Amino acid sequence: MQSRSRTRPFWLSAGSRSEVDAAVVGGGMTGVAIAYFLALLGYTVRVFEERGSFALGASGRNGGHLSPGPLEISGADHERAREVLRFEHQTVRQIQEFVDQEGIRCDLRFGGHVRLAGSEEEFEALKGSAQLLQEEGYPVELWGAEEVERKLKSYPGVFAGGLFNPAGAQWNPAAFTYALAERAEEAGAVFHFRTRVLRVEQAQSGFHVMTSAGVFPAKRVVYANNAWAGRLGVERITPVRGQALVTEPAPSMWDFGASTVPGAAAYWLQLPNGKIVLGGLRSLSPSKEVGEFNEEQLHPAVSAGLRSFLRHHFPALQDLQIEAEWTGIMGFSPDGNPLVGELQPGVWILGGYSGHGMPVILSAAEALAALIAGKEPQIPIPQAYRPDRF
Ligand SMILES: Cc1cc2nc3c(=O)[nH]c(=O)nc-3n(C[C@H](O)[C@H](O)[C@H](O)COP(=O)(O)OP(=O)(O)OC[C@H]3O[C@@H](n4cnc5c(N)ncnc54)[C@H](O)[C@@H]3O)c2cc1C
């Protein structure tokens, strides 16, 4: 069963443990959030996390941007894009309310976010997005090349323009996950650390969750292990390694929160203590870091690119010392939208955020918990997130 040992203790069979209403795989922000909302609905929940604590995967390794999008809207399906826009803005508002109500300390601040264009072509695409956002009532601003240069304090000519969204926020995602985990535990969710889910088997009624710590029966299962979902047979989620770094405190640079260049090629923000968090540039790796699971290894070309990025774009940011550098594994879907819903009777998924989970997870988890409980979600899940869309 769970080990290579050829002996198999009879007492550790599936019947030894009480069945829960829901087993959740993964203790990142997603697993914690779905556990919290299911527990609030009165469900018994066990969360299995293979590492020693919460948020040790992407949720504790990301860039700290909580930026509702999408901001590059192309193609004809504007209705779906509108739904996603509303959903993500709603998630950010929900996070703000939750943080205020619960007094959560996660450095949440609404500095806004600017999406930058590296070329005229990219700027044209941003203009299309701006129009859609303005039609929807979002007070976004288009910044021309000179305005960007002035506001970013960048070298002349490096950016062709930008789209500023004041709804963009920045935060400490690990701190939020820890706080949510405390509330999930208070609501009754049980967390099993250092417990890896090896596979999930259909049982007579419900499922047997086969783990490194034995068998746990559950009425239903939620895959909240994002990049690693493929290892349990979930198709359509591909692991992609991201990389980021933090500098020593720099001179105060920007009076807005965060910046991104298209395709998340690079993204950065300045923390209140002056340090700059910068991530991206995985295109500098020949594989684009697709299929990479190793969090212990930095890609040398991505590291070199990140280390020289600030120097090449901003005259005031020369020769900053790097205080820390890390990687994390993201789960990408084929179209960049997450998978939120039922995969087969009793098996649910919440993942595949394609590097953009922060403005999705909380509302998606609440809505999914309602669906699991047979209720109408207060905020409907966008059609674009349906797992059966492929
Ligand atoms: C470098 C980087 C920068 C990013 N920047 C941003 C950003 O600025 N803004 C943004 O919105 N998003 C960003 N993201 C993406 C964001 O971090 C993710 O979308 C989000 O954290 C996903 O949360 P999660 O809980 O689904 O996954 P994770 O936090 O990865 O959690 C999954 C957990 O499942 C566990 N697990 C896996 N398999 C098993 C198993 N079989 N049994 C038990 N446990 C298992 C893992 O150990 C892990 O803890 C970034 C990601 C990276 C890596």
> Tens of pLDDT along 180-216?
999 999 999 999 999 999 999 999 889 999 999 999 9
**Does the pLDDT of residue 71 top 60, yes or no?**
no
Q: How confident is the model at residue 2 (pLDDT cuts 50, 70, 90)?
A: very low
242 lines ligand 1 (CB under 6 A): yes
- Residue-range domains of the chain with CATH: 16-60+174-237+335-389 (3.50.50.60), 113-166 (no CATH), 240-330 (3.30.9.10)
190/208 Cα distance (integer angstroms):
17
Mean pLDDT for the stretch of residues 2-7: 63
Give the pLDDT confidence of 253-301 residue by residue, as tens digits.
999 999 998 765 999 999 999 999 999 999 999 999 999 999 999 999 9
Ligand 1 mean position to 28 CA, how many Å?
A: 6
299 lines ligand 1 (CB under 6 A): no
Q: How confident is the model at residue 1 (pLDDT cuts 50, 70, 90)?
A: very low
236/387 Cα distance (integer angstroms):
9
352 lines ligand 1 (CB under 6 A): no
Ligand 1 mean position to 330 CA, how many Å?
A: 6
Instruction: Give the pLDDT confidence score for residue 133 in this predicted structure.
Output: 86
* Averaged confidence pLDDT in the chain: 93
DSSP string, 31-58: HHHHHHHHHHTT--EEEE-SSSSTT-SG
Report the predicted TM-score, pTM, of the whole model to 2 decimal places.
0.96
Instruction: Give the pLDDT confidence score for residue 76 in this predicted structure.
Output: 53
Which atom of ligand 1 lies at the shortest distance from residue 48's CA? 43
**Does the pLDDT of residue 154 top 70, yes or no?**
yes
91 lines ligand 1 (CB under 6 A): no
**Does the pLDDT of residue 77 top 80, yes or no?**
no
Which atom of ligand 1 lies at the shortest distance from residue 354's CA? 19
Instruction: Give the pLDDT confidence score for residue 132 in this predicted structure.
Output: 81
289 lines ligand 1 (CB under 6 A): no
* Cβ-based neighbours of 339, under 8 Å, separated by 6 or more: 234, 236, 237, 333, 349, 350, 351, 352, 385, 386, 387
For residue 355, give the nearest of 383, 328, 387 by alpha carbon.
328
Pairing, β 141-144 against β 113-117: unpaired
**Does the pLDDT of residue 252 top 50, yes or no?**
yes
28 lines ligand 1 (CB under 6 A): yes
**SS3 call for 181:** helix
